[in-house]
Amino acid sequence: MTLYSRRRGKNAVVLGLSVAATAIGLGWLALILGALIWEAFLGLSLQVFTEMTPPPGSAGGLLNPIVGSLIMTGLAVVIGTPLGMLAGTYMAEYGRHSRLTHVVRFINDILLSAPSIVIGLFIYEIFVYQVGHFSGWSGALALAVIVIPVVVRTTEDMLLLVPDTLREASASIGMPRAHMISHVCYRAASAGLITGVLLAVARISGETAPLLFTALNNQFFSFNLNAPMASLPVVIFQFALSPYKEWQALAWVGALIITFAVLALSIAARALGSKEPL
């Protein structure tokens, strides 16, 4: 065998492997989504959205966990977004080259991928344990801690994309900096900022670990944020590990709802983000 054909052979083998790897990777993931849709459609009905979680052995729906998830996700976004946006604003507008910015960026990137169960422990320590009981508030706080790094990151990135000529123009007509940021920079980067919030919502809507010992779970419908609150991921966790057929079927349906919500949010964020800035 000549050197040339040996090199070509090696090349063909590796390229073949890379095609195979792609097929395996995508096939594997398609398999998961396929199984999810198949299993969940068997249990999907209107009942799921209108009835409470059932006691073992009877039929029911997922209304209270869906509402609980919506409430806690909404609160987490309301708490986390302003803080994250302001911090990102500082990093992109005021302290672009300051030491604080570099440190915060580094720490923020670590918080971005820190294990979420640890954040649950943190909120348990500083809130649940002090108050003495599990509550919807603590669940929302735990989720807010996860929202912050996502929003900080996208806010900084998006504000840095705003051309400096815009800033110079507004400074030249005597605009104070705070006005410039809120009336020019935020407006120019608005699509990107909303993308960040959508991504954050997508990130927390499937989070289970931080809710396990903050919001706990609640079998009944409840708007009371001072009491334990049901959430979709925790209910899925509980129902899937139970021995009851009805509960397991509901867990699959819940999993499908979350997956679709997350995919829809990511696609919306992507569509918004890919629009031309400005």
Partner 1 sequence: MAEVALQGRDFAQPAITSRSKALAKLRLSDAVFFQLTRGSAIAVLIILSGIIASLLYGATPALRQFGFGFLVSERWNPVTENFGAAAPIYGTVVTSFIAMLIAVPLGLLIALFLTELCPMWLRRPIGIAVELLAGIPSIIYGIWGLFMFAPFLQRTLQPALIGVFGDVPVLSTLFAGPPYGIGILTAGLILAIMVLPFVTSISRDVFEAVPPVLKEAAYGIGCTTWEVFRRVVVPYTRVGVIGGVMLALGRALGETMAVTFVIGNAHRISGSLLAPGTTISATIANEFTEAVGDLYTSALIALGLLLFVITFIVLAAARYMLMRLERRIG
> Is residue 131 at the binding interface for partner 1, with CB under 8 A as the rule?
no
Binds partner 1 by CB under 8 A, chosen from 59, 78, 161, 267: 267
Residue with smaller CB distance to partner 1, 64 or 217: 217
DSSP conformational letter for 98: S
Structure tokens at 23: 């097929």
Q: Which of residues 13-72 bind partner 1 (CB under 8 A)?
A: 14-15, 17-22, 24-26, 28-29, 32, 35-36, 39
The residue among 124 and 137 lying less far from partner 1, judged by its C-beta, is: 124
Q: Is the torsion defined by CA of 160, 164, 166, 170 positive or negative?
A: positive
Site residues for partner 1, 233-262, by CB under 8 A, read 233, 236-237, 240-241, 248, 251-252, 255, 258-259, 262
Interacting stretch for partner 1, rule CB under 8 A, among 47-55, 68-76, 186-194, 265-273?
265-273
- Residues within window 155-214 making contact with partner 1, judged by CB under 8 A: 176-179, 181-182, 202-203, 205-209, 212-213
Minimal CA–CA distance to 155: which of 190, 183, 103, 203? Answer: 190
Using CB under 8 A, pick the residue from 41, 49, 94, 220 that binds partner 1: 94
Any alpha helices (H) in the chain, and if so which ranges? 3-43, 47-50, 63-89, 99-112, 116-123, 129-131, 136-161, 164-172, 177-179, 186-188, 190-205, 209-212, 232-240, 245-274
Quick count: other Cβ atoms within 10 Å of Cβ 4? 8
- What amino acid is encoded at 43 in this protein? G
Exactly one of 62, 143, 148, 215 binds partner 1 (CB under 8 A); which one?
148
